Amino acid sequence: MKLYYGPGACSFVPHVGLEAIRAATGEAFEAQAVKLHKGEQHSAEYLALNPLGLVPLLVVDGKPLTQIVAICDYLDRRCPQAGLLPADTWQRAQAMSTFAWMNNTVHPTFTHIFRSGKFADGEAAQAEIKRTAQGAFRDQLERIQSMAEKAAPFLLGDTLSFLDAYALVFLRWGGLAGIDPASLPAYQAYVGRLAAVAPVAAAMAREGIHLDTYRKQ
Ligand SMILES: N[C@@H](CCC(=O)N[C@@H](CS)C(=O)NCC(=O)O)C(=O)O
């Protein structure tokens, strides 16, 4: 398996999954960085694999698979012993409900902040989109904080899951959006603990990322 990822991007979620699978089974994977800020996702070579020009992309036996939720579902079904999603049908559905909310609501809210130019042409309209999305993103991080307060020690209990990796990504992105992680103390403490968990630490080291992204705006 080969993962194409952008350092610090949402592709961190399956990246952590692949590290957890390696830890559980010894199965190795390849990881290829795609420099999003340099537009490498729009190269002809990359678009041939993923016409959407987005990361993550997982290539399995030469075949491309896109979309975080689909990739992670595949990884979990391929290697259930890594415990990245619950085995119990109802618990899995509950986990997928939170996963879907993260992917289809929280993630695009940040896209409206970080890439507001995708959603409006004029500067004033972009500033308005950004301001509105910042408020929504803050509310969403607070909702994740309420989940983190119950983490034991992970969001789904005693096993690291894709949800934890996504939660870490969002707090880092919050820092870039001017949200001080210290204003979300339970969330910050939980992510601090996560960063020390071996598969998470390994993915962070490969991507060359750290938790300290906060820039006052
Ligand atoms: N719905 C997609 C979203 C993927 C996505 O938004 N990827 C971003 C990075 S977090 C990206 O590749 N952006 C590059 C660009 O917009 O040019 C998924 O779940 O995989």
Which residue has its alpha carbon closest to ligand 1 atom 11? 54
Pairing of β 57-60 and β 2-5: antiparallel
Residues 6+ apart with CB under 8 A from 76: 17, 82, 84, 85, 162
Residue 217: pLDDT band by 50, 70, 90 thresholds? confident
- The domain at 89-197 falls in which architecture? Up-down Bundle (1.20)
Which residue has its alpha carbon closest to ligand 1 atom 16? 54
pTM: 0.98
Sheet arrangement for strand 2-5: 30-33, 2-5, 57-60, 63-66
Nearest to 9 by CA among 28, 48, 37: 37
**Tens digits of residue pLDDT in 119-170:** 999 999 999 999 999 999 999 999 999 999 999 999 999 999 999 999 999 9
Q: How far is the CA of 138 from the centre of ligand 1 (A)?
A: 20
Q: How far is the CA of 55 from the centre of ligand 1 (A)?
A: 5
Q: What is the CATH number of domain 2-82?
A: 3.40.30.10
Residues 6+ apart with CB under 8 A from 51: none
Q: Where are the domains of the chain?
A: 2-82, 89-197
**Tens digits of residue pLDDT in 17-27:** 999 999 999 99
Which residue has its alpha carbon closest to ligand 1 atom 1? 67
